Structure 1
Amino acid sequence: MILADILSIILRLAELAFAAIVAGLTGVYLAANKGASSWSLGRFIYTEIVAGLSIIFAIVWLFPFSGSFIHWPTDFIISVMWFVAFGLMVDWLNGACGNVFNWDGITINDNNTCSQWKANVAFAFLSAIVWLVSAILGIYWVRRHTRTHRSTVPVATTHRRRWYRSRV
């Protein structure tokens, strides 16, 4: 199972990196629109919260313990939250920068906001996929571990006679 531990560490590092990128890009946008109403910035606040939770959980679960595999329900929930954040950002772009997955003409500079938003959307999608793969790995590990554990543990009795009662 060392392969599962190594894969888990790689996935947690990717989760951490992708969440940090999305948190940074979304944070820049929130800082630039500081005076706007929180209602109009709701999708970005949600994305920032999901990124923050992802950073916290990825750091805590980065350590390679077998207990990190039992958190697969949380991994799955965070994956769903990332897919929602991805959908909210794609909906907000609404084709303003062209097709979301069309990367023609993307350059790295400070003045190209379409490049920043496409990177933000792409890393949100990648984060959702990585959290989902981490949940699937956790399900695999837990099912394999419990199946092996069940076959080696003897069945416990449900009724135990007290020592002070005689059968006379």
Structure 2
Amino acid sequence: MGVASRIISTILRAGQLFCGAVVLGILGHFFHNVGEAHALGPGGRLIYTATIAGITILASLVLIPPFAHTFWSFPLDFLLFAAWLLSGLHTCRSGWFRTYWGFYWGEWRRVVAPGITRRLDGCSAWRSVLAFSFIAMFLYLLSSILGLLWVRRHGKFRGRRRGEPIGVAPPPMEASPAGAASQPAPPSQAWP
């Protein structure tokens, strides 16, 4: 599980970086369009999603090198999984899409040149934000599971020394008669 887990972890981190960049890019374009329409501004749920996408990009860039310390970040991976889950649940309601996102992306028209009007259709971008949000969520779930498995297998929970095999117990102590002083084991039987 040593080399394979590091390769899988790097692939998962690259996928998280890609998903975060796509979501942040689409939402940034949407924020730009809202600003050009002189609207009140994007809602809190979109700002939350953009913030989570930014945190995802930062965390992925820091944790993408395949070092052992990246596996110890499985609690962070699980927190980001929960954050993406919350983001997806808040942005997945279709009524909100028709009244807010649909207006600024679908109904708002941009005049490119005199007499030429271009309609901005936001359905594909909306679906892309949802799809990449859920893909990032599952990638973080897989990263947290992989990190937990790696820590359970390679972690130092038992206080063992470097190079010691896992699960080897010291030899049992010889029982001494009651009241007798215990004698140390001969050097040939001593625990290293």
> TM-score normalized by structure 1?
0.76
Unaligned runs of 5+ in 1: 97-109, 156-168
Relative distance call for 1:118 and 1:10 in structure 2 (3 A) is same
Structure with greater strand share of residues: 2
Name the residue aligned to 1:114: 123
**Number of aligned residues:** 140
For residues 68 and 93 of structure 1, the distance between their equivalents in structure 2, rounded to whole angstroms, comes to 40
Pair member with larger Rg: 2
Paired residues of 1:30 and 1:41 also in contact (CA < 8 A): no
Name the residue aligned to 2:30: 29
Q: CA deviation at 1:28?
A: 1.0
Which amino acid in the other structure matches residue 33 of structure 2? A
Which amino acid in the other structure matches residue 23 of structure 2? V
Query: Can you list the C-alpha shifts for 1:30-84, whole angstroms capped at 9, x where unaligned?
Result: 111124335x511111011000000000000001100000000000001110111
Name the residue aligned to 1:143: 152
Unaligned runs of 5+ in 2: 99-118, 170-192
> TM-score normalized by structure 2?
0.67
Higher relative CO (CA 8 A, sep ≥ 6), structure 1 or 2? 1
Name the residue aligned to 1:165: none
Which amino acid in the other structure matches residue 41 of structure 1? G
Q: CA deviation at 1:93?
A: 5.3
Q: Output the aligned Cα RMSD.
A: 2.3
Matched, 1:45 2:47: yes
Query: Can you list the C-alpha shifts for 1:104-156, whole angstroms capped at 9, x where unaligned?
Result: xxxxxx84311110111000000000011001100000011136x6374399x
Which amino acid in the other structure matches residue 57 of structure 1? A
For residues 124 and 95 of structure 2, the distance between their equivalents in structure 1, rounded to whole angstroms, comes to 12
For residues 79 and 57 of structure 1, the distance between their equivalents in structure 2, rounded to whole angstroms, comes to 12
Query: Can you list the C-alpha shifts for 1:9-31, whole angstroms capped at 9, x where unaligned?
Result: 00000000000000011111111
For residues 5 and 143 of structure 1, the distance between their equivalents in structure 2, rounded to whole angstroms, comes to 15
Name the residue aligned to 1:101: none
